[in-house]
Amino acid sequence: MAKLYFRYGTMNSGKSLEVLRVAHNYEEQGKKVLLFTPSIDSRYGVGLVTSRIGIQREAVITKADIDMAAIAKERMPDCVMVDEAQFLSVHQVLQLTDIADDLDIPVLAYGLRADFLGKLFPGSEALFSWADKIEEIKTICWYCNRKATMNMRYKDGIPVFQGEQIHIGGNESYLPVCRRCYKEAKARFQPH
Residues recognised as catalytic: 84
Give the Cα separation of 53 and 51 in Å (integer).
5
> Largest alpha-carbon pair distance within the chain?
57
Is residue 63 classed exposed, middle or buried when 0-12, 13-18 and 19+ CB atoms within 10 A define those classes? exposed
* 40-69-108-83 Cα dihedral, nearest 10 degrees: -10
Which is it for the CA torsion 97, 86, 22, 39, positive or negative? positive
Contact 132, 125 (CB under 8 A): no
| Other CB atoms within 10 Å distance of the CB of residue 74 | 9
b/e for 2-29, b at 16 or more Cβ within 10 A? bebbbbbbbbbbbbbbbbbebbeebeee
Q: Residue 61 pairs with which residues in a beta bridge?
A: 37
How far is Cα 123 from Cα 16, in angstroms, rounded to an integer? 17
